[in-house]
Each structure stands twice: as C-alpha cells, then as structure tokens.
Structure 1
Amino acid sequence: MALMASTKKHSLSRALSSFLRFRSSPGNEIASKPPCGARYSSTAASAAPAAAPATTEPRGMGAVEIFGLKDYEDYRRSLYGGITHKALLVDAVGTLVVPSQPMAQIYRQIGEKYGVEYSEDEILNRYRRAYEQPWGRSRLRYVNDGRPFWQFIVSSSTGCSDSQYFEELYNYYMTDKAWHLCDPDAEKVFKALKRAGVKIAVVSNFDTRLRPVLRALNCDHWFDAVAVSAEVEAEKPNPTIFLKACELLDVKPEDAVHVGDDRRNDIWGARDAGCDAWLWGSDVHSFKEVANRIGVRV
C-alpha cells in the first residue's frame, strides 16, 4: 500500500509539473529591456516597446486537462501545511520597482548640458535599436558593474560619448530618485510572508548596482537572498539564475514560485528551472494577491 501511495503521489507530482509548463497562454509579446542601469520595461515606458516576434508554447496533454487550479493549490497546501510554496522569488524591474520617469526623458534632461540634441522619441528609438543588437564582448550584457554595455547603449541612444555625461547618468540609476516601488503594500506583505515561514529572494537581470538600489529604497532587508545576473553569470530566461536563488534560500525549485512581468524571461525561465511562476499584471496584480494565493492572509 505504501508503495502504491508513493507511486500515485509521484505521478500526481509529474502531472502537476506538466500543468505548470503548459498553463500560460501562447502568442504573447515579449517586452523589451532597460535604461542605463535599469531594465527597460513595458510597464515603465511612456511608449510601448517594440514587440518581439510572438513565440508559441508547445501544446500537449497535461495536468491542466485533469486538475483544476483549486485542486492544484489544495494539493500543494496539503504538502506544506496550509501554504502552497515555501519560497517566493520576485523579479526586480517591472515587478518590485519601476523607473520614476521614462528613460528617454532622463537621458534627454541630463544630456542637455552635454550637448544632447535628440528628441525623447529619437532617443527611445535609438535605444531600442542599440539594445536589440548582439552584444559581442560577452554572452552576458550585465557583467560586474555593466559599464561597457551601458556606455555603448548611452552613446548609441544619444550620440554623446562624454564620459562625465555617462557617469552622471549611470550614477543616477543607483539612487532613490530613479526608482519607486510598484506596490506600496509590499513591505507589509513581505513581513507577513516571512512570519508565515516563506523565504523571499529577488531574481533579476541587472548589474551589481541592484544591491545599492535596494538599499537606497530601504527594502534590501525584506529579502533573504538576492540573485543578480551579473553575479550569478546567467541571465533570465536561463534557469541557472532561478536555481541559484533556490540554492541561496535552501529550497527545492518545486517548492518556490516566481513572480515577474516578462512572460519569456520570468515565466518560461522559472518553469524551465522547475519552479512555479505567476505573471505580474495578469495572474497576480499585487503582492497581497500573491500572498493570498500562497495561503498567507495580510
């Protein structure tokens, strides 16, 4: 009987894994990326970013045809004593924080005294073209402090290669003036999650300025770990960065859920690592909703 129960549980677990992999809708656009030091996000820009070609997930017979969402969440709560996950992984830009002003506006404002004459629309278009080009110096855009990459982006976007301009712009994106929290209730929610025993980590494609940014916003102490692509040497959607976050939290990937605003980088990447994943702005719209889905009342 014990063997049969174990086999049944294993089969259910595999089916639920299938459920995670095939749950999201196909054909969604993939958001573009950052300003100088920020990730450029569709939620933070004044104009919609250029769309990447639509990508379709494979279809197949999975647990979605067998189990409803409520059954799945009830199953997880039965495993973890009332909560669905032992750990929460959170994307940074576009989910936890957003730029306080549009990137092109900042590039233009700071650049005026350095001779930048391009309009905000032209800066934004040039920025997009530069960001989409292959970065030949490394397989990673964000290496250490990311300066070589951002110098290329800034000069390509504005036509200005003045080192003082770059440093002023680069340092601006390390301050609390550049960013604000997406959800004003985030601190209250994260405290409630931690009281319930849920571990929390930030998982972000960013250079090493992410930690100073979190300190500047006085939210670095909310997290048990921070997995930054520049430090992990892997960028989302590479599952390595999610696995590193789970390692830092000392949890198994299947015990964690990741929340982020990019379907390709956050949702597909996390699920490839074996984590559950919810799309910010679609599956969940606030951290209170995240906590409620995990089973923690705020």
Structure 2
Amino acid sequence: MFPMAARLKISRLLRITRTGSSSNLFVHETQRKPAPCVGHGSGSHLYSAVATQEVDPDIGRRGLGGFWLKDYEDYRRSLYGGITHKALLVDAVGTLVVPSQPMAQIYRKIGEKYGVMYSEDEILHRYRRAYEQPWVRSRLRYVDDGRPFWQFIVSSSTGCSDTQYFEELYHYYMTDKAWHLCDPDAERVFKALRNTGVKVAVVSNFDTRLRPVLRALNCEHWFDAVAVSAEVAAEKPNPTIFLKACEFLGVKPEDAVHVGDDRRNDIWGARDAGCDAWLWGSDVHSFEEVAQRIGIPVR
C-alpha cells in the first residue's frame, strides 16, 4: 500500500487522465448538486446541470511537465502490478438514490401551513446562497444528526424559523417518500457481486439519517458496510472517508473501486485514497455495467 503522500501525488497526476470514455473534465460546482434538502449530505441531487470544460483530446495520454502517461487503467497496473476489484464503494445521493421531488417544491409545500411565502425559485436561490457560505460552527457540516447545519439552511432558504416546520422537513427526508433508487436493477446486481465475494459499501457525505434512509428503501442489507461522513468525521473529497470504508471491508484501497457522480468529491477523493474510481453517468451508467467492468456476470 502506498503511503498517503505518494497516493496524493499519484492522484494529482491521474486527475488529468481520461476516465473510461470521458473526454471532458467535469467542473464541480455547488449548484450542480441538488442541494441537500435537509435531507442529505453534501450532495443532494436536485439538479444535474453539469458544467464541462473542453480539453485537448490527447490529454488522457499526456501528463504534467513532460511526464507521459498511458491511459488510466494501464497506469494503475503500472502502480499496483494489476487491477483487482475486491470491493465496490458506492456514493449515496445521485448514484444510489435521488430525491423524488425537487427540494424547493418540498420546502414550499410543507412550509405553506407555517407561513412560508417565498416562491420555489426564491427558495432555491436563497438555499444556494446559504449552502455556499462557509460553515464556521464546526469543522464538518454534518456532525451527528446535522441539525444545527440544516436549521440554518432551512431558515435561510425560507425565512421561517418555526421549530415544528423544521422537524417536519427533517423527518420527511428520512422516509421512502423523499427518495427513490436510481437503478431499479441495483438489488440484483449487488446480490450477484456479494455472491461472488465482492464486498460492497456505501460512502456518503451525510448525517446520521443515512442508515434510516437505507432501511426505509429496504436496501441497507445490500451492503457490508456504510461509511457516513458524520460518523467517521471526514467528508469527501477527504481520502479518510474512503480509507475508513476500505478498513470496514477489510480490503486495501488499491483493491477497491468507487462509483459516484461528482468528479471532485467522488473521483478525485477516491483516487487520493488510492482507490480506482468511475464517474456515474459518464464512465458507467448502471450497476450492471459496473459489475461487467469488475468482471462479474449478472443474470
């Protein structure tokens, strides 16, 4: 296993390589991740407008300072002497699950009986502005149940500080009404992976409600481990959360692949930890495709 400093240096080089068939660099921006919705961690996905930046088509084979790289998979083989995927790490919101309704719609709908008058557009605008502000009360936004952070977000977005309103919103985002699975075939694929010995974990920037959400969607039993930022005290792209997930599964980081929809948090973060990483919606589009890339047939 490479020491952290070496992994970080390697990751910085890998960031400029192609990932699968992608030829664009996806620019991370707060607005692209549907705001957390009082429901979720750093990446609730209400919107999927992704800003892209065109790059030289040969960039996947060229490194920094004249350092020439092969394509991504070949380069990993040169580092680790072969690629084995003994474990799959999966992002939660935007990859495994998505909000069933737009955040602003829910904030307004529930808020009407509490006197919320803002339009959905105004709520969204205020939400984004509040979410982009530095959170100075603690090192992490999602500490334990995340209530202080979400109370700030809700009151800033709607102008309503009613405790009953906040609690209704907060609990709504723990139910199966708030979320649905991205891929209807996910259960079949995860079962096939685990039957062949591949270990599976969720890795998410979320507060402690993630486990109740997974139970509500009847999918908690699909996973061997759950690494939640509020529980491990590290948020993606901090490599610590990925290293913790690998520790929970009992695998080396280089033997794990992480799948997520955010290039900065999921792809760069996982690579900083030494894991392989595929971008959901670009490198892979379904969990069956993930299984195929790992080399596991799904029937």
TM-score when normalising by structure 2: 0.83
SS of the residue 2:289 aligns to: helix
Partner of 2:17: 23
Q: 1:172 to 1:48 in 2, by over 3 A?
A: same
Partner of 2:4: none
SS of the residue 1:105 aligns to: helix
Unmatched segments (≥5 aa) in structure 2: 1-9, 19-23
Q: Which amino acid in the other structure matches residue 37 of structure 2?
A: P
Distance 1:27 1:222 in 2: 30
Q: Which amino acid in the other structure matches residue 35 of structure 1?
A: C
CA deviation vs aligned residue, 1:83-119 (integer Å, no higher than 9, x gap):
x400000000000000000000000000000000000
Q: 1:100 to 1:62 in 2, by over 3 A?
A: farther
Is 1:34–2:36 an aligned residue pair?
Answer: yes
Distance 2:216 2:190 in 1: 18
SS of the residue 2:111 aligns to: helix
Unmatched segments (≥5 aa) in structure 1: 1-15
Distance 1:203 1:35 in 2: 18
Tell me how far 1:22 sits from its aligned partner: 3.5
Q: 1:48 to 1:68 in 2, by over 3 A?
A: closer
> CA RMSD, aligned part only?
3.1
Distance 1:42 1:48 in 2: 13
Moved over 6 A (4+): 16-19, 51-54, 72-78
Based on CA coordinates, which of the two structures has the bigger radius of gyration?
1
Choose between structure 1 and 2 for higher RCO, CA contacts under 8 A separated by at least 6 residues.
Answer: 2
Pairs within 5 Å for 1:131-280: 131-280=131-280
Tell me how far 1:260 sits from its aligned partner: 0.3
Pairs within 5 Å for 1:101-140: 101-140=101-140
Pairs within 5 Å for 1:39-54: 39=41, 43-45=45-47, 48=49
TM-score when normalising by structure 1: 0.84
Q: 1:73 to 1:96 in 2, by over 3 A?
A: same
CA deviation vs aligned residue, 1:227-263 (integer Å, no higher than 9, x gap):
0000000000000000000000010000000000001
Distance 2:288 2:277 in 1: 16
Q: Is the 8 A contact 1:90 1:259 kept in 2?
A: yes
Is 1:293–2:293 an aligned residue pair?
Answer: yes
Distance 2:238 2:162 in 1: 34
Kindly, what percent of the aligned residue pairs are identical? 75
Q: 1:27 to 1:177 in 2, by over 3 A?
A: closer
Tell me how far 1:196 sits from its aligned partner: 1.3
SS of the residue 1:243 aligns to: helix
Tell me how far 1:34 sits from its aligned partner: 1.2
Q: Is the 8 A contact 1:18 1:62 kept in 2?
A: no
Distance 1:86 1:40 in 2: 27
